[in-house]
Amino acid sequence: MKASFREFSSSSDISGSTATSSQPKNDLENGDSMLNNTFVDWLHNIDRSLVCKVLAEMLGTFVLMFCICAIIAIMHLIGVEVGLMEYAATEALTVTVIVFSIRAISGTHFNPAVTIAFATVGPFPWSKVPLYILAQIVGSALATYIERLVYGLDQSL
């Protein structure tokens, strides 16, 4: 049987002693207890499977954008011109690896257009669309920012 956060925090402190009568049972005087309890309740009510799906979508988009930007940056730094085939092969192999890695978790959309298309014609619920799109944008922006830090390229590339 799992004890809730409130049961654990009110029964005893870490040293094993129980709370004394001089300590207030809740800190309503300073307003912290109500805020903390609301936040803790909110954390307990989060759908963990949705969090995993959104994080997987963000990670997949991050890896995809990082690999695409990496081939562009590396070819620019070494001064080699590559054709469309090399870029397409990089993207295809990256997408293949990501799809096989996290397909069972998030559905592997990696693109807001794909997410909207699945919600329009498929069984994907519209309630998850904003979270998926936000995760994709954050993953993409984070990948390109880290790419700039790694390769030290200017914004014109």
> Are residues 27 and 90 located together in one domain of the fold?
no
Give Cα separations from 64 to 38, 71, 80 (angstroms): 37, 11, 22
What confidence score (pLDDT) does residue 156 get?
A: 65
Tokens of 151: 């390769």
Neighbours of 133 (CB within 10 A): 17
In this model, does residue 58 exceed pLDDT 80? yes
- 156 in any annotated domain: no
> Are residues 28 and 76 located together in one domain of the fold?
no
> Are residues 14 and 39 located together in one domain of the fold?
yes
Q: What is the DSSP string of 126-150?
A: GGGHHHHHHHHHHHHHHHHHHHHHH
> Are residues 97 and 138 located together in one domain of the fold?
yes
The CATH number of the domain where 113 resides is what?
Answer: 1.20.1080.10
End-to-end Cα distance, the chain: 57
How do residues 97-110 score in pLDDT, each as one tens digit? Answer: 999 999 889 888 88
> Are residues 103 and 34 located together in one domain of the fold?
no
33 pLDDT tier (thresholds 50, 70, 90): low
- 157 in any annotated domain: no
> Are residues 90 and 54 located together in one domain of the fold?
yes
Domain that holds residue 87: 48-151
Domain count, the chain: 2
Neighbours of 59 (CB within 10 A): 19
